[in-house]
Amino acid sequence: MADHLEYTTTGRPHPYHLVRPNIWPLISAFAGLFFASMMLAYFPGYREALADGGTNLPFPWGPLAGVAAIMVCMFFWWKDVIYESVIEKAHTKIAEVGFRFGMALFIASEVMFFVAFFWAFFASAFFPAEAIGYHWPPQNLHVIEPFGLPFLMTMILLLSGCTVTWAHHAILEGKTQEMAKALGITVFLGFSFLCFQIYEYAHAHFGFTEGIYPSTFFMATGFHGFHVFVGTVFLFVCWLRAKKGHFTAEKHFGFEAAAWYWHFVDVVWLFLFIAVYWWGNVAGVDHTGFHPALEASAAAH
């Protein structure tokens, strides 16, 4: 029989995967609660230290412990999922349809996540306030040149999109070793992008709390960087699985989901580069010749 079939208590086979009771979802919920609690406990001391001049900032032992707890849960939970797929062969073609819908909905939710950050950026950019001189970007701010390091980072991500597509075509043709090679290059490119972004942040001439432009810039690019990190780890796990022979031409959804995610990260970065680095830094908006508040005041008199 081509697909693995499970049996109900009646003994009749069906192609659906009924998940066995698993402790890791419950433990993961407690890990998330622990992380949130540690963040709430950490921020008051952090704000007080900033108010005192930024000296003696408390080290985030609690939040880091929460992150570690979440990572442990993810490792063991996903290890069980891989066991279901590779050893038990419980992920049938019917089950994979649900996986694809789930991954598509997850990426759609990520799109809305970034929409919020872009909304904040454009709301401030199209209608710059008096506090920043009705000009975007603020004229006293030394912004990052788009066709320097950001352009190099763009080329790196575009190349990584090509290599992950190479890996996809390789597994469709049953070339597992070639797939692993392409995945290894993709992981290296993702790691290189993160290193360049850290370098960019370290040499930026503005800090996160120094106005609306730095805040929206770091929120949008920083969360994208976090997604690059997640995607790189995702692809690294796929690389390890490819080396172990977990993927075949007929069964490789774990990698396919990672490839979808990586292409999503690429597209978001292209929009970031055009909207934030280029338009937001070079073109911008200048309302210094027309102040709505001043015009309204003049009209009233």
User: Which positions ≥6 away from 126 have C-beta within 8 Å?
Assistant: 136, 285
Taking residue 184's Cβ as centre, other Cβ atoms within 10 Å add up to 17
What pLDDT score was predicted for residue 13? 64
Question: 93-300 belongs to which CATH class?
Answer: mainly alpha
Q: What's the pLDDT tens digit per position in 172-188?
A: 998 999 999 999 999 99
The dihedral over CA atoms of 274, 233, 193, 269, expressed in degrees to the nearest 10, equals 0
Where, residue-wise, is CATH 1.10.287.70 in the chain? 18-89
Per-residue pLDDT tens for 85-112?
888 887 888 888 888 999 999 999 999 9
Question: Is cis: bond before 137, omega within 30 of 0?
Answer: yes
Sorting pLDDT into bands at 50, 70 and 90, what band is 4?
low
pTM of the model: 0.82
Q: Is the pLDDT of residue 145 over 60?
A: yes
18-89 fold: Helix Hairpins (1.10.287)
